[in-house]
Every structure is written in C-alpha cells, then in structure tokens.
Amino acid sequence: MKQSHPIAHDLVLVGGGHTHVEVLRQFAMRRPDGIRLTLISRDIETPYSGMLPGYLAGHYRFEECHVDLSPLAMAAGARLYQSNAVGLDLSAGRVLCPDRPSVAFDTVSFDIGSTPARAAISGHEHALAIKPVHAFLDQWRRVEPGLLALGREVEIAIVGGGTGGVELALCLHHRIRTAFKAAQKSNRVNVHIITDKADILTTHSAAVRRRLHAALRRKNIRVHTGQTVDCIQQNAVHGLDGFRLGTDVTVIATHASAPGWLQDTGLALDDAGFIRVNNQLRSVSDPRVFAAGDIASFNPSLAKNGVYAVRQGPVLAQTLRTLPGPKPAEVFSPQKRTLALISTGDRNAIASYGPLAVQGAWVWRLKNWIDQRWMDKYRSLKMGSTSEMSAMRCGGCGAKVPADLLGQVLSEFQTDEDDDILIGLRASDDAAVTRPPPGKVAVQTVDHFRTFMDDPYLLGRVAATHALSDVYAMGADPSTALALVTLPFAKEAVLAEDLRQLLHGAQETLRAAEVRLVGGHTGEGQELAFGLSVTGYADEDKLMKKSGLHAGDVLILTKPLGTGALLAGWMQGRVRHDDLKPAIQSMLISNRQAARILVAHGVSTCTDVTGFGLLGHLGEIVTASNAHAVIDPHCIPILPGAAALLRDGVKSTLHPGNIDAAGRYMKADTDLANADILFDPQTSGGLLGAIPSASADKVIDALRLNGAHHAAAIGRVTEGESGRISLERL
C-alpha cells in the first residue's frame, strides 16, 4: 500500500513571462495538493524587462538580468517543456506545439508577452525586432562586430518612439560609443528614432518628454516624428511620404502585437488580437483559460509594460493555487499611475510619475536597487518539499492502471505489425507472440529508468534510444519491444495523458528504428518510471561479444562522455537548461548507424557505454578478452560543462560505486586523480568498439559523417597485463 495525493488537476502555464515566474515562485514556496504544474516556454531564460536596457548598455551580465526558469520550475515541482505553443484546441483541452505531442490541460494560463507590430512594414525581415528578446540578442551579437569594424560613422535606426524604442536608442548608443572608445576609435554613432506620432513617449508627461529630448540631444540622437515607416531595406528605411534614411542596422520597437495563431483558438480577443480577460485574469469566453502580462487585454485597456505583468503575478498565483475552486478568485486592480524609471543609457535615469519628472544618477541607483530586489526573489530558490501524501492507493494486481484507459491510449498509436507478429498490440492477449526469422538467434535486453527528466515525451525518446543500444552493441537488429511504465498517482485523465506523452516519445524512436512495440505493463507509483525490454535478432557467428579484443586494435568511442555529471548538476539546479541541451541531443542519437559502420569495418568487439562508465564497460571487455588496453584521457570527447562539474564534485550517485569497482580492472598504481570523467555513468551513451588500426581513421570519418560528430580514437589494445587497463598519453 502506498499513499499519495493523486494528481487531480492539470495546470499548464504557457510562457515564462513576468507573471508566471511569480506563480512558479509561489508554488515553490508552498505546493498545492493535487495540482500538477507544467510550464511550456519557448525560452528558458526570461529577460527581466526593467534591466534589459541596462543589459544592452553593457551595465549587466546576461545572468544578472535573466530569470532561469529551469531551477524555478524544479523548485515549484513543475515539468518544464521547452517548446513554442502554436495553437489551442479548446474542445479537446490541449495546447498545440509543433515539435512535441500536444499537452492536455484542465486549466491553462498564457503569459507569452508580445512582439513589435511589423506586418504593415514590407521588408521587415531586413530589420531586427526587439522581441523576442533572445532572437534580438542573437541577431545583435552577429551584427555588432560588423558595425564596430566599419571605418566610418555608424547609422542605427530605431522604428518606434515609445518607452522601449527610446530606451533602446539611448542604450545602444551608449554601448557602441563605449566599444569604440575602448578600441580607441573616434567613429561617430548616429542613432535615429522614427515615430509616426507627433512626439516620442506620448503616454508620459511633457516634463518627462522635455528631459528625454535633452538626453537625446546630448547624444546627437535624432527624432523623426510623423513618419510612418512602410518599407525597410538592407541599408535604408522608407516612410510613406518619401522619407528615406540610410542605415547600417534597423531595429523595430513598434507597439505590441499578439501572435496570429490566437485568432484560430476561438477565444475572445480584442481588436489587436490579445486575449480578453476580466479582472480575475480569466478569459471572458472560457473560464479554463487565464492570461496575464502583455498578452492579456483588459477593459479599460492597460499599457503593455512589465510593471503590470509583475503586479499580476501574486493575483494569478493565488487564484491558480486554489484550482479547481471553489474559493473566489483574486482580483487584479491596476494602480491608476505607475512609476516608470526610464534609463538614459549612462547609469542615469528619469523617473516618471503622473506629471512629475525627476532625473539623476540616484534615480538609476534606485532603479537598480528595485530591479535587483526583484531578480533576487527568483534566484537560488530552494526545492520545495514534496507535498504530503494522503489518499490511500492500492498497489496490488501489479498496481495496474485501468484497462479501458490503457486501451484508449494504445488505440491512438499506429502499430506496424508484420506477419512475424502473431499477437501484438493489435490483437492483445496474455503475452505477445512473435516468429523469429529462420536461422537467427534472439538477442534480448531490458532497461528501466526512474524519471530523470521532467518531460515524459523526452523521457520516452531517451529511454528507447538507450534500450535499443544494447541490441546494436551486440551486432543485432532490434525487432520488437515491451514497455514497462510506472505512472505517478493521478486521476484517470492525467494517467492517460502521461502515458500518451511517454509512449509517443518511445514510439517515435522505436518506429525510426523499425522496432514494433508489442506489449508491456503499466502501473502506478510515486514517480514516473519507464523501461523497455527489446528483442533483436542476429546471425550467431556475427554477434559482437565482449571477448574479441586483439592486440593492435584501436578503441573508438562514438559519443562524448558527461551525461551523468550534467544530469546530476541539473537535478541540483547547478546546470542551466540551455547547457543541458548538448547532453540531451547526444542521448537522442541512435547507435544504429554507428554499429553498422563498426561492423562494416571489422569491429572485433563492442559494447555500449552506460551506467558503469567508460572504464567499467571497458573493464568488462578486457576481462572477457584477456587483453590489456591503454586509454589516453586527453583523447576522450567530453560534453561541454561536464568536466567543470566533476571538478566541483558534482557527480552522479553511481559514480562512487564505479570508482570502487576500478580495482578489479585498472592496472595497479594507476593515477586516477584526473580520471573522473572515465567513471561518469552514461545514459544512452555511445558505443565503444575495437577496430583494426588500419581502418581506424576511415571509421572515425564515417562515424562523424553519420551523426556521431564527436567520435574519437581514445586508446589501443596492447601487449600487457591481461584483464587490465592503464591510462597513458598515446
């Protein structure tokens, strides 16, 4: 018998904007029972709008002004799916994403910001748009060196004369001037602000405008008013009335616009396409939908700024944590006046409050203090304690999930059952029945993981890639698979959804490998777990056993090491989500092609590198082959960030056990001081193959051409003490 709060309500947050980070923080401080939180966000680092101008001016480092959603989601117990929502199916209750299965919700909340309106400007692709900020920063990094290398004046045009456009002009001016000064160049930087209005900052008082005009004049930033930009070319901006300005780079910072796909959702939208909400931040047309920040539209309308998005955070968090009700929802009442602190680029700022305007370095210091305090709230959040478990769940009957639910989910998957599958998923029975190809031997393996990723779809893909590896490493072709699933206690709809996501991921990988899922077992438990038992077939005389090493063979590793340290670091909140990406990509690379290449070039023995680490698995080979191998630690391909983590003592829990086992196969007196990476347990690691030395270069070229971009020769089989490994520079 086990106890748990079953998941009763699926709350999906789309976008990690200023409001949702507060929802995550409040869930991290106290997790509501029964609500499962999923965050879908296109970007994992949310730029804090208040500090963005300061970042562009060069006053802040990237991490000082970006909230890393990954540790925040982890602390909140939220699953983080990095994806770009592109649609909403209200009738099915699902958020649509282009690169993963759609995500089911009971309640969905949008905080996806806005982008500058560009549709009316032809050739806008020749310009940079200030939002999405990540895309802008990427493009700016590419453009900036060219600007700095120009042997003449630099011309920058900003289209848009609102607060964002004006701050941008001042900050980019400061940035480029500072860079020229540092390079002892005297090039002028001519920044232009182009607005279709009669003045800049029309939502602020005349006093504020006067101060900003003065600040702009001091920097020779020209303001072109009453100019509607309708066309942008590579090196020029054109207006409706024959206006033309030559530019080296143009940035669009016009008024906010909403993504077009919202039009197809059936939600009530305002004229500009933003989601209409009431003062509870709830869609006026669908009570399951909430919206906050720029994407929300209120009546009367509010300015699109980060201040409101921030203020909506506590309100939304309070409402969402009481889902599905019945408590009355919190109400958002915007303050009549907001204090705006507008940066002038040079650690000076103007405070705007109603008719008042004050300016000075002290205003910038005040702004900096307020902004730092906001950022501090989202840094170094501790992992919340898992909610107390209460409802009693029976774990008998293998803790199976209901048959109807299973049948419903399985019926959604295409099954490619050929004549060799006598009984599979299509005609289910007590067990799967398959007919082996004549003359072949069966190669069978099983792998099982507790969840190490918060995205079940991704877990399914990685776990399937990992499970198939054993079969490839034996020189066999995988044919069929049985799935072993443990789903966290939840109501049926949630169980079905988890299973769907998991199997979708696994099936995608299995089908790409031409492997048929023929059965499995699904039960409930305290956490998600997934495994596959795979059966493959091979010619008996072509099996790649561990006993085939020959002296002179070159040892080739097909994938970089480091997944153990990186996953451990990520779970401890020490690895940023973006830095985990190379590890995820590596775990998703199938070893199928690599195995074929190794076989084609006369591999003498092969294994896949997994939980025992490189040396543990090589230890098995040298023992079985009675051979001696030398590994050159300098030749080992390593995933970015893994070595630094190991140096800092961040290791997988399996790591110490792998080191303890080293005595069995390492040559006595080997210095293991800097060999940590060689004991790092791998998830879905590469193949370690021994190849006749004459073919080694050809094999590495072929591997690199076929997806194993980091394949490398890492050692040799030499005459020496049999069953032992030594570490040497080769």
- Enumerate binding residues for ligand FAD (CB under 6 A): 14-19, 40-43, 46, 49-50, 52-53, 84-85, 111-113, 130-131, 164, 167-168, 253, 293-295, 304-307, 309
Nearest to ligand FAD of 201, 409 (CB atom): 201
For residues 293 and 456, which CB has a smaller minimum distance to ligand FAD in the complex?
A: 293
Q: Cα 674 from chain centroid?
A: 31
Q: How far is the CB of 579 from ligand FAD (least distance, A)?
A: 17
397 among known catalytic residues: yes
Alpha-carbon dihedral angle through residues 193, 194, 196, 197, given to the nearest 10 degrees = 20
Smallest separation, CB 375 to ligand FAD (Å) = 13
Burial of 387 (0-12, 13-18, 19+ CB in 10 A): middle
Paired strand residues for 630: 716, 726
566 token code pair: 């990186």
Residue with tokens 């709809």: 493
Residue 309 or residue 528: which is nearer to ligand FAD going by CB? 309
**How far apart, in whole angstroms, are the C-alpha atoms of residue 523 and residue 502?**
13
Cβ proximity to ligand FAD: between 166 and 556 the closer is 166
Could you tell me how many residues make up the chain?
730
Identity of the residue, 49 or 486, whose beta carbon is nearer to ligand FAD in the bound complex:
49
364 vs 452 by CB, closer to ligand FAD:
364
Residue 544, judged by CB atoms within 10 A of its CB (0-12, 13-18, 19+), counts as: buried
| C-beta of 367 vs 710, nearer to ligand FAD | 367
Q: Say how far residue 322 (Cα) sits from the centre of its chain.
A: 28
Beta carbons of 230 and 221 less than 8 angstroms apart: no
> Which residue, 345 or 478, has its beta carbon nearer to ligand FAD?
345
Q: How far is the CB of 56 from ligand FAD (least distance, A)?
A: 7
- Between CA 385 and CA 387 the distance in angstroms is 6
Cα distances (angstroms) measured from residue 282 to each of 330, 363, 454, 708: 10, 36, 27, 48
Burial code of 49-65, b = ≥16 C-beta within 10 A, e = fewer? Answer: bbbbbbbbbebbeeeeb
> Which contiguous run of DSSP H or E holds residue 605?
strand 605-608
Q: For residue 296, which amino acid is it?
A: A
The DSSP string of 264-318 is GS---B-TTSPEEB-TTSBBSS-TTEEE-GGGEE-SS-----HHHHHHHHHHHHH
Which residues have CB under 8 Å from 85's CB, separation 6+? 14, 15, 40, 42, 95, 96, 97, 112
Q: Residue 75 or residue 129: which is nearer to ligand FAD going by CB? A: 129
The neighbour count for residue 476, using CB atoms within 10 Å, is 25
Alpha helices in 426-576 (DSSP H): 456-473, 492-512, 563-571
| Helix-then-strand count for the chain, H and E | 18, 39
Distance from the first to the final alpha carbon of the chain: 57
User: What are the start-end ranges of the H helices in 30-119?
Assistant: 52-57, 69-76
Inter-residue long-range contacts of 444-447, CB under 8 Å, 24+ positions, other chains counted:
444/533, 444/534, 444/535, 444/536, 445/470, 445/471, 445/533, 445/534, 446/484, 446/531, 446/532, 446/533, 446/534, 447/531, 447/532
Taking the least distance from each CB to ligand FAD, the nearer of 98 and 325 is 98
Contact 483, 531 (CB under 8 A): yes
Nearer to ligand FAD by Cβ, of 16 and 685: the residue is: 16
Q: Which of 65, 397, 606, 635 is catalytic?
A: 397
Query: Which residues are CB-neighbours of 206 under 8 A, at least 6 positions away?
Result: none
- Phi/psi of residue 15, nearest 5 degrees: 95, 135
Alpha carbons 394 and 50: distance in angstroms, whole number = 51
Q: Which residues are catalytic?
A: 397
